[in-house]
């Protein structure tokens, strides 16, 4: 069936019940039906000019959070028509909004320009041009510094015992926040007695390319990652929820490629999500009790990444159980349930005002001043919370779940 026919079919299947509209973070702040799954399914059947500004706005103003997909009673694939529509955008339009914004922000701030230049020189000289992190970096604050910075474990197979788990680090943990890689390695040694195997040939998961409609680039990155983890059958652990979600989709992405279909299926089957992995492995704190002052000051708020909240494999209970096992108390809960943080990969660059409005709604759920830490397990969410809370003057710490857990265990002598 042709793409246009599939799109038409999805639109025809829609019962117009509005369940997707009610849960859409973009609708909640704009009230615009045209920017919801229901509105988009019908409009895309009528709009025929991908170069028009209306087409560009309708297909770009989506976080790809999956909330609509999750509630649709007819199980309509609301996202594939959108991704296919993005692929129709002229090349210049695909990157126009993020590129313009990044350039404008960077050029407007000599300090940011200097900071970025220094970052690029010192930290990012090996960052592949295909990494989605380049776009995210353009909006990092001048004083960005990873929490509890520690050296990254060496690439390739480290000495000292054969690894039993391999690691897909993702661009943030690999290039900018090696403390996340180091913390994940520390936790893995604790549960398995061996370091992580970190193939040096791995690259960006390709989610940014896929989301921007650059399908060929996303396919090339997927093949490179599958090849990087070939040659052994170790489980593949990843500490980023968005990477995990996209890596899982490799099997579907390469389903029509006779050479890569089977390797992609095997690759996807080996993936392990961070909190599920460490919960199943029995990660536990040292037997020494926490210092009284630490127990009294740890009030942790866990942000659920949309990529773990929605879809067939919902992972909300596991990070909470893991936090409770290590800290001795369940995390603080948002006042009326989890919210999207508004980052959405390229969404926060293409639609910064919408992104901030959605983030503001998420922050209102934060039980401050009682929260001492905001933690999450997704690179995009982490950057959004770190930047947003810094702007808001939050006095606590914002860090990756791995960094928090490793820090607690280390302080207790683990
Ligand atoms: S993926 Fe999320 S932002 Fe996009 S239409 Fe669905 S609910 Fe709205
Ligand atoms: S939830 Fe599904 S059936 Fe209902 S309006 Fe949205 S896309 Fe249509």
Report CA(81)–ligand 2 centroid distance (Å).
Answer: 14
C-alpha–C-alpha distance, residues 249 and 80, integer Å: 12
Structure token digits, residue 287: 């037997």
Helix 37-44 to helix 80-88 angle (10° resolution) is 50
Q: Specify the residue with its C-alpha closest to ligand 1, atom 8.
A: 24
- Ligand 2 contacts CB of residue 15 (under 6 A): yes
Domain membership of residue 143 (yes or no) is: no
Q: CB under 6 Å to ligand 1: residues?
A: 23-26, 36-37, 62-68, 78
Co-location of 294 and 271 in the same domain: no
Q: Please enumerate in sequence order all residues whose Cβ is within 8 A of that of 190, keeping only pairs 6 or more positions apart, or say none.
A: 283, 409, 414
State the closest ligand 1 atom to the C-alpha of 63, by its place in the atom list counted from 1: 3
Q: Which of 84, 135, 144 is nearest to 112 (CA)?
A: 144
With a cut of 0.95, is the ipTM above it? yes
C-alpha–C-alpha distance, residues 261 and 251, integer Å: 6
Domain membership of residue 153 (yes or no) is: no
Domain membership of residue 189 (yes or no) is: yes
Q: Specify the residue with its C-alpha closest to ligand 1, atom 7.
A: 24
Co-location of 253 and 230 in the same domain: yes
CATH number assigned to the domain comprising residue 59: 1.10.1060.10
Residue 143: cis peptide before it, omega within 30 degrees of 0:
no
Domain membership of residue 159 (yes or no) is: no
Q: What is the pLDDT of residue 242?
A: 96
Ligand nearest, relative to CA of residue 58: 1
Co-location of 356 and 335 in the same domain: yes
What beta strand segments (E) does 136-200 contain?
Answer: 166-168
Domain membership of residue 161 (yes or no) is: no
Co-location of 323 and 358 in the same domain: yes
Domain membership of residue 149 (yes or no) is: no
> Of 65, 94, 123, which closes a domain?
94
Co-location of 299 and 359 in the same domain: yes
Report CA(86)–ligand 1 centroid distance (Å).
Answer: 15
Domain tally, the chain: 4
Co-location of 229 and 256 in the same domain: yes
Report CA(274)–ligand 1 centroid distance (Å).
Answer: 25
Domain membership of residue 270 (yes or no) is: yes
Report CA(66)–ligand 1 centroid distance (Å).
Answer: 6
Helix 80-88 to helix 53-60 angle (10° resolution) is 140
Co-location of 47 and 116 in the same domain: no
Co-location of 263 and 291 in the same domain: no
> pLDDT truncated to tens, each residue of the chain (414 aa)?
566 666 667 778 999 999 999 999 999 999 999 999 999 998 888 877 877 888 888 899 999 999 999 999 999 999 998 998 888 887 666 555 444 445 434 433 434 434 444 454 454 555 555 555 555 554 444 444 444 434 444 444 445 578 999 999 998 898 888 999 999 999 999 999 999 999 999 999 999 999 988 999 999 999 999 999 998 999 999 999 999 999 999 999 999 999 999 999 999 999 999 999 999 999 988 876 665 556 667 899 999 999 999 988 999 999 999 999 999 889 999 888 899 999 998 888 889 999 999 999 999 888 766 889 999 999 999 999 999 998 888 888 999 999 999 999 998 877
- The sign of the dihedral angle between the CA atoms of 105, 106, 109, 111 is positive
Q: Which of 168, 340, 342 is nearest to 244 (CA)?
A: 168
Q: What is the pLDDT of residue 255?
A: 97
Co-location of 266 and 302 in the same domain: no
Longest Cα separation, the chain: 66
Q: What is the pLDDT of residue 174?
A: 87
State the closest ligand 1 atom to the C-alpha of 37, by its place in the atom list counted from 1: 5
Co-location of 185 and 264 in the same domain: yes
β-partners of residue 301 are 332, 374
Co-location of 10 and 84 in the same domain: yes
Name the residue range of residue 246's domain: 166-278
Co-location of 273 and 170 in the same domain: yes
Structure token digits, residue 405: 């857990």
> Of 94, 124, 155, which closes a domain?
94
Domain membership of residue 304 (yes or no) is: yes
171 within 8 A of 127, measured Cβ to Cβ: yes
Q: What is the pLDDT of residue 103?
A: 42
Ligand nearest, relative to CA of residue 36: 1
What beta strand segments (E) does 173-270 contain?
Answer: 236-238
Q: What is the pLDDT of residue 121?
A: 45
């Amino acid at each position: 069936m042709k793409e246009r026919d599939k799109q038409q079919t999805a639109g025809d299947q829609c019962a117009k019940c509005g369940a997707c509209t009610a849960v859409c973070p973009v609708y909640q702040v704009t009230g615009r039906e045209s920017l919801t799954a229901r509105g988009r399914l019908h409009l895309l059947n009528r709009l025929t000019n991908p170069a028009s500004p209306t087409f560009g706005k309708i297909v770009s103003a989506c976080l790809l959070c999956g909330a609509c997909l999750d509630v649709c009673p007819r199980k309509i694939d609301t996202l594939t028509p959108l991704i296919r529509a993005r692929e129709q955008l002229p090349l210049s339009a695909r990157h126009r909004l993020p590129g313009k914004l990044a350039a404008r922000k960077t050029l407007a701030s000599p300090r940011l320009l200097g900071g970025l230049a220094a970052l690029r020189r010192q930290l990012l000289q090996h960052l592949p041009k295909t990494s989605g992190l380049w776009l995210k970096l353009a909006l990092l604050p001048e004083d960005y510094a990873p929490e509890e910075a520690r050296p990254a474990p060496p690439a390739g197979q480290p000495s000292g015992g054969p690894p039993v788990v391999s690691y897909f680090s993702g661009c943030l943990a690999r290039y900018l926040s090696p403390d996340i890689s180091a913390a994940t390695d520390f936790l893995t040694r604790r549960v398995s007695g061996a370091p992580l195997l970190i193939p040096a040939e791995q690259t960006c998961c390709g989610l940014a390319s896929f989301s921007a409609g650059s399908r060929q680039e996303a396919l090339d990155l997927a093949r490179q990652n599958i090849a990087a983890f070939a040659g052994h059958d170790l489980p593949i652990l990843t500490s980023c929820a968005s990477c995990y979600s996209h890596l899982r989709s490799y099997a579907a992405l390469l389903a029509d490629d006779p050479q890569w279909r089977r390797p992609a299926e095997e690759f996807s089957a080996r993936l392990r999500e961070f909190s599920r992995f460490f919960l199943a492995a029995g990660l536990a704190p040292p037997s020494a009790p926490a210092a009284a002052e630490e127990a009294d000051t740890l009030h942790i708020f866990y942000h659920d990444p949309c990529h773990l909240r929605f879809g067939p494999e919902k992972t909300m209970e596991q990070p909470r159980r893991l936090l409770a096992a290590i800290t001795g108390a369940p995390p603080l809960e948002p006042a009326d349930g989890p919210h999207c943080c508004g980052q959405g990969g390229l969404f926060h660059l293409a639609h910064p005002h919408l992104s901030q409005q959605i983030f503001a709604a998420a922050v209102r759920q934060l039980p401050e001043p009682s929260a001492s830490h905001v933690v999450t397990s997704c690179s995009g969410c982490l950057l959004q919370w770190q930047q947003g809370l810094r702007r808001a003057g939050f006095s606590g710490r914002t860090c990756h779940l791995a960094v928090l857990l490793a820090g607690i265990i280390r302080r207790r002598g683990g």
